[in-house]
Chains A and B, each alone.
Chain A
Amino acid sequence: SFENRLAFRWFWLPEPVRPLHGSGCGQQQEAVGMEMRPETFSIFRTQENDPDCQSEQHQGQYYTVPPSHFHTVFPHGLPPRYQQQVKTFNEGCVMVRQPALELISHLKRADYSKPTLRYLLYGVKGSGKTMSLCHTVHYCSTQGWLVLHIPDAHLWVKNCKELLPSSYHASRFDQPIQASNWLRNFRTTNENFLSKIKLRQRYVWTKRESTEEGQPLGELVDMGVSRVKSSSDVVGAVLKELRLQAGGTEGGFRLAVAVDGVNGLWGRTTLKKEDKSPVAPEELTLVHNLRKMINNDWCGGAVIATLSQTGSLYAPSSAYLPQELLGEEGFDSMDPFIPVPVSLYSEKEFESCYLYYLDRHWLQHPHSQTEEGKKELIFLSNRNPSVLERLCAFL
């Protein structure tokens, strides 16, 4: 495979400054003059760890998320298998792929005085939607945006042990555990914003508890974490405040709402009331507030969402298009949105992933390190990222 690497070096060597237009531009390097570089980096990695500076040059290459960012930016957002992989390899490497790059370029060029744009990542199961979302979230946090990352909306519509009737609104239900968990993670992600943002309204929780106007947001969040009973309402309040203040000229922060598995907000739930009748998603406080967030009636930020079939309820496993998974209601709410398709690995990306696993000594089987073994891997996984990952896990 050293010869492979050499061949790819001649093939891939990026020119230092020239920006390239069009997609899949690694191949165009050939026409440009080739230089000899010392071997300080390998083919599938790039030193460019800042998502801002990544461009199509780096497509297919892995960049490392700095460990300091890891725990602040992604306390809860990463797929569980990827978290295990990070723990095993002792580093978090994300592949730069075309959907993420497209999203980031849109975010760079968008006009934030207009109502929010909504982006929807969709694709077949295991093609890398959540990872692209995390890549974009990393970009947003490095740019200093306030990130509202909901790891999986499906977690809010199923498997809830406690459903309290809401104190605020009679017909709605609260989910204290999920809400407090999310608030805790939110606090970890956006530490620096919590003291800067001030509340514009007075919130009364109980007869004795209330939060005054002008208090920092951090206090509200702390209160929500400690008082578990009213945490769902706290979430609602937080979302409302952020919505109001996002595009504001005095505060001046941008808000990124990243929702994974957004189709869960409009489907059905598995939760039941005490009289065994099913709960509709609108009757959950969290879902209700989140839906208000996703509506494009505010400005100064972006909504990035992914569809997910894996956790979705009552959806066939072959469905991956927005219409199928969102349903009519969801589609109407999300409309208009910018669809971003996420495809399976291209040849280059597959090669890069394969070399990464080889580099990390993840592929132990001697046959997998040969060309034939690579062909077998391509066949068996059909270049599907998650299938490939599961396949290599026992090799």
Chain B
Amino acid sequence: MQMQRLLLSTYFLFSPERRTANMAASGGRTVGSFLWKCGNCCFNFNTVSSNLTRQVLSRQLCVSAVLHRKNLAAAGPEKFSEEFIKKQVEEFNIGKRHLANMMGEDPETFTQGDINRSIAYLFPSGLFDKKAKPLMKHPDEDTFTKALAVEKHQDRLRGKDLFTQDAKQISLVGSRWLLKEELEELLVETISEHDYARFIQLMERLLSLPYCSVEEDFVQRYRRQLEIQSSKQQVQPLQYDQHGVAYSTGDGRRKTATGTVLLRDSGSGSISINGTNYVHYFPVLQDREQLMFPLHFMGVLGRFDMQCSVSGGGHSSQAGALRLAISRAMLSFLSEGQVETMRQAGLLTPDPRIKERKKPGQEGARRKFTWKKR
């Protein structure tokens, strides 16, 4: 109980702005537990300064800090009520007396200046910012007023039934942040990479705060909509020949091989490439599997008859070109959802890989000449 009181008092020793800073918080907790340890055992500080015991203590401190953290999380957000503040004041006074005992001074005549000096002596801090250094102040001085004001405001709103929970979220799906170049264009000034990264960081932080939907317009000004990929596909309508059989054409290219396919419905799954059977044209199993992939994926293996013509490239690239051509020809037979699944399977994307250029001073595109030591 005593431990909890002391820990809580020192948790609020530090100013609220730095409470979220990890280093300060953990420092505060270690300070609190350290003080507790000192208070219990009436340790002289000089003997504690040996490294071994400090490490032992710090190890134990860390454990208790973890436990303390867990407890806080379970308890929920703090309520800044009047009795709570009174408790804090009591704990501050007790802590002041313990500190005076530790420093060997008279607890009755221990002033705020004395407290500051003792804390600076006990916890020498190399930090430059005054607000980041450890401090111990009376709770009444500017610690809870802000939080109390916020609480009062919320109570008033609740009374008027205007206090709504933050249910509206800005939808960020389907949009992206402005690129650096676009931001530069908007603001008509050059921005460095660090500035841009900081900007994005701040915008993300803004979105993480509650009631961010109030500033939705502001946020949306700096976002761009992404285009839906599948709407870019131009699906040609089905054509019907004289017997009423539906057919469609498609062409595809891969690495200097081009192929065209005429896909006919209500067939038996026969395929002829440049006039010959596909089993003779592609003796390699891999090429035939490439041809099979779009049909098998949509489950229409035996349905279509195909007449293909292909030229250029080698056998693999011809197979790839035909695969793309078949997928494109099949689009007109399929529904929107199936088109989207085909696109996501990568059947409609032309393969951009081409032969890499040979560079001078090297034997090939990547291969270097044989290295000779002498």
Contacts and interface: CB of A to CB of B under 8 A. Distances in A.
A379 B292 contact: yes
B142 interface: no
Interface stretch (B17-25, B277-285, B358-366): B277-285
B346 interface: no
B280 A124 contact: yes
Nearest to B301: A375
A73 B302 CA distance: 41
A382 B279 contact: yes
Given A318-B276, A318-B280, A387-B279, A380 B302 contact: no
B285 A380 contact: yes
B289 interface: yes
Contacts of B301: 375-376, 378-379
A391 to B, nearest CB: 7
Contacts of A382: 270-271, 277-279
B314 interface: no
B277 A378 contact: no
A384 B295 contact: no
A381 interface: yes
B68 interface: no
B292 A376 contact: yes
Given A376-B292, A391-B285, A381 B279 contact: yes
Main secondary structure on A side of the interface with B: helix
Interface in B272-303: 276-280, 285, 288-289, 292, 295-296, 299, 301-302
Nearest to B276: A318
B269 A379 contact: yes
Interface in A204-258: none
Interface in A355-395: 372, 375-376, 378-382, 384, 387, 391
A376 B296 contact: yes
A342 B203 CA distance: 75
A391 B283 CA distance: 12
Contacts of A375: 296, 301-302
A387 B276 CA distance: 16
Interface in B41-67: none
A387 B296 CA distance: 19
B295 to A, nearest CB: 7
A318 B272 CA distance: 14
B287 to A, nearest CB: 10
A378 to B, nearest CB: 7
Contacts of A380: 285, 288-289, 292
Given A124-B280, A318-B280, A378 B302 contact: yes
A375 B269 CA distance: 10
B81 to A, nearest CB: 68
Nearest to A317: B280
A180 to B, nearest CB: 36
Given A318-B276, A318-B280, A384-B279, A378 B269 contact: yes
A125 B280 CA distance: 9
A154 B70 CA distance: 86
Nearest to B292: A379
22 contacts: A124-B277, A125-B280, A318-B276, A372-B296, A372-B299, A375-B296, A375-B301, A375-B302, A376-B292, A376-B301, A378-B269, A378-B301, A379-B292, A379-B296, A379-B302, A380-B285, A380-B288, A382-B270, A382-B271, A382-B277, A382-B279, A384-B279
Interface of A: 124-125, 317-318, 372, 375-376, 378-382, 384, 387, 391
Given A372-B299, A376-B296, A382-B277, 18 more contacts: A124-B280, A125-B280, A372-B296, A375-B296, A375-B301, A376-B292, A376-B301, A379-B292, A379-B295, A379-B301, A379-B302, A380-B285, A380-B288, A380-B292, A381-B279, A382-B271, A382-B279, A387-B279
Identify the 5 closest CB pairs spanning chains A and B, nearest first.
A375-B301, A382-B279, A379-B292, A380-B288, A379-B301
